[in-house]
């Protein structure tokens, strides 16, 4: 599994050297995470809006913050569509269970690739092979909570906090290299509201994501996941990562 959004590769870094006996896993935090994961795991379809900011090093080796808004739609086990707009451009992904297409609106070019027949397998394969980035992906993995427990030394419940007038449970996960906070809404449908990741060994650069809107089990036409190249769009080829 590659952690949240496939933007940051959280679980691609080694976990700390703590033994299993030395981990501190708050039972209240694990209970809340399990409830959230169970709700998401029972969804047949979902659409959501995501606002993100990420620190990146510029040419002067200074941290520069970049912003984006993503519209994500999933349906069944093998349909995904994403629109990403931000200060680094406008991009889109379409996955129909057989092929995935990536389109760069600013450059008017695209690539279409054969893909595995399930969304989560496709995400893993395309991220590992081509470094494709899929916002909000990791919360949909059935192993999400187990992966947190395996890769962090402490998981702690910090109490209730208010995010945009919504009461949320605040959970912190800490490892040698990462500090992660997750806010989960204190509502009947316990859904992620905000995520913050701090890279402790990279000048404490940050990634933050806010879930603006969840639409649970909407009816999404299959045509939404079909990619039709715009007029004069150029078909390009891409190389797999070495």
Backbone φ and ψ of 72, nearest 5° = -120, 135
Domain contains 217: yes
Which range of 5-14, 21-30, 86-95 scores highest in mean pLDDT? It is 86-95
Domain contains 39: yes
pLDDT of residue 16: 43
Rounded Cα gap, residues 242 and 177, in angstroms: 26
* CA neighbor of 85 nearest in space, from 101, 66, 98, 99: 66
pLDDT of residue 58: 94
Tell me if 157 sits within 8 A of 170, measured CB to CB.
yes
Binning pLDDT at 50, 70 and 90, where does residue 138 land? confident
Rounded Cα gap, residues 192 and 173, in angstroms: 15
* CA neighbor of 36 nearest in space, from 146, 205, 185: 185
pLDDT, tens only, 43-93: 999 999 999 999 999 999 999 999 999 999 999 999 999 999 999 999 999
Domain contains 220: yes
Write the CATH number for 109. Answer: 2.50.20.10
pLDDT of residue 10: 41
Which domain covers residue 205, as residue numbers?
4-231
Angle at 120 between CA 119 and CA 126, to 5 degrees: 85
pLDDT > 60? residue 196: yes
Binning pLDDT at 50, 70 and 90, where does residue 22 land? confident
Beta bridge partners of 161: 168
Domain contains 112: yes
pTM of the full predicted structure?
0.89
* Number of domains observed in the structure of the chain: 1
């Amino acid at each position: 599994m590659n952690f949240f959004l496939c933007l940051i590769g959280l679980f691609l870094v080694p976990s700390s050297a703590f033994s299993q006996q030395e981990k501190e896993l708050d039972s209240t935090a694990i209970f809340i995470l399990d409830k959230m994961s169970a709700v998401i795991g029972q969804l047949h379809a979902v659409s959501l809006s995501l606002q993100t900011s990420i620190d990146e090093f510029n040419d002067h080796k200074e941290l520069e913050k970049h912003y984006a808004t993503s519209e994500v739609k999933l349906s069944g086990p093998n349909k995904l569509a994403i629109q990403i707009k931000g200060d680094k451009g406008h991009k889109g992904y379409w996955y129909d269970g057989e092929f995935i297409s990536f389109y760069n609106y600013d450059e008017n070019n695209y690539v279409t690739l054969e893909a595995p027949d399930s969304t989560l397998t496709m995400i893993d394969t395309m991220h590992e092979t081509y470094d494709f980035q899929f916002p909000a992906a990791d919360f949909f993995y059935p192993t999400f909570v187990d992966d947190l427990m395996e890769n962090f030394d402490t998981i702690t419940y910090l109490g209730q906090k208010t995010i945009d007038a919504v009461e949320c449970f605040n959970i912190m996960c800490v490892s040698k290299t990462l500090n992660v906070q997750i806010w989960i809404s204190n509502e009947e449908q316990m859904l992620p509201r905000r995520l913050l990741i701090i890279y402790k060994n990279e000048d404490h650069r940050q990634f933050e994501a806010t879930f603006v809107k969840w639409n649970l089990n909407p009816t999404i036409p299959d045509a939404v996941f079909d990619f039709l190249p715009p007029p004069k769009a150029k078909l390009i080829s891409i190389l797999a990562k070495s």
